[in-house]
Each structure stands twice: as C-alpha cells, then as structure tokens.
C-alpha cells in the first residue's frame, strides 16, 4: 500500500496549486461538461473521484511538458523509454497499444501475470489493485497515462 500511496500522493502533489479549468454551463441543458466525479485542470490533468478520494489520475496530451509520474514517465515519451523506466518483467499488454503495470497493494507486490493473478471479488477488493496504464499512439509514443485503482478501471466509479 505504501508504494501505491506514494505514487498517487506524488501525483496529487503535482496537481496542487493547479486551478480547475473554467467551464461555462448553459441552464436547462445537460452536456459532456456535466461529467460527475471528474475534474479537469489546466495543463492536461484530470482527476476522477470516488467518495471525495482520488480514484484515478490521467495525464493527457496537454500535460506533455511539465507533468510526469514519480518514475519520470510522461506523455509523448517513446514506448522503449517507458519500458526502461518500468521494466518488462511485470508489463502487461505489449503490442496492444497499451503498456499496463499492476500492483497488489494488499500483498505489496507487482503482478507477473495480471490476467491470472487478478483475483475476482467485490468492487472494494478491486481498490487494492493499482495500475499504471499508458495508451500508445500509432508512433508508439505515450498518448496518455492513467494511474488508477482496478475498481475505477473496471467499474468507472
């Protein structure tokens, strides 16, 4: 839990002081701006909340300059540099357009085979698994980076 806490805590600290992007709303109209539980900040950072706690952090294309993960991964980085930072042993999804790394905070270990190692269970159990997921573009550079718990990844809550 400590490693995942530091990872998420580091991102929260990076976003401290960033003002939320201003959005204007038209009365009597529901739109994509009404995305509950999601706050977008200037600079390409999105935070997703569950019961007033951060469940996921997304770095988008706009974050390419100033923001990075605790290991130094950032949007725009080539796939091979991402693999140098996080390693290959625990990487899932090579060749799928994503690089995924799963961490079991209850047992304090990275998962070697997430499809086999991920235990079925309740949404609350899914909160104990954390992952870093990098979406790659056609040039195999990081298009976006998501740090989230498995509950948010599966249930989007």
pLDDT in tens, 32-74: 555 577 888 889 999 999 888 899 999 999 998 889 998 999 9
Residue 23 lies in a domain: no
Q: What angle do CA 79, 85, 86 make, to 5 degrees?
A: 90
Residue 26 lies in a domain: no
Tokens of 30: 């529901």
Residue 24 lies in a domain: no
Residue 96 lies in a domain: yes
Query: What is the pairing mode between strands 91-92 and 98-104?
Result: antiparallel
Residue 28 lies in a domain: no
- pTM greater than the 0.85 cutoff: no
Residue 134 lies in a domain: yes
Beta bridge partners of residue 135, listed in sequence order = 98, 144
Q: pLDDT per residue over 113-146, tens digit each? A: 777 777 677 888 889 999 999 999 999 999 999 9
Tokens of 4: 């995942």
Find the domain containing 142 and state its range.
2-12+36-155
Q: What angle do CA 149, 123, 105 make, to 5 degrees?
A: 40
Contact between 7 and 70 (Cβ < 8 Å): yes
Residue 27 lies in a domain: no
Helix (H), strand (E) at residue 104: strand 98-104
Total count of domains within the chain: 1
Residue 22 lies in a domain: no
């Amino acid at each position: 839990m400590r490693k995942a806490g530091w990872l998420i805590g580091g991102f929260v600290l990076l976003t401290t002081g960033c003002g939320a992007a201003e959005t204007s709303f038209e009365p009597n109209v529901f739109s994509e701006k009404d995305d509950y539980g999601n706050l977008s900040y200037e600079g390409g950072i999105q935070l997703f909340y569950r019961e007033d706690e951060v469940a996921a952090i997304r770095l988008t294309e706009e974050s390419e300059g100033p923001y990075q993960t605790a290991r130094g991964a950032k949007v725009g980085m080539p796939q091979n540099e991402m693999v140098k930072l996080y390693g290959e042993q625990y990487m899932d999804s090579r060749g799928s357009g994503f690089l995924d790394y799963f961490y079991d905070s209850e047992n304090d270990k990275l998962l070697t085979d997430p499809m086999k190692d991920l235990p079925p269970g309740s949404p609350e159990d899914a909160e104990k698994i954390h992952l870093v997921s990098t979406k790659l573009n056609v040039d195999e550079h990081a298009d976006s980076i998501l740090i989230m718990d498995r509950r948010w990844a599966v249930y989007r809550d």
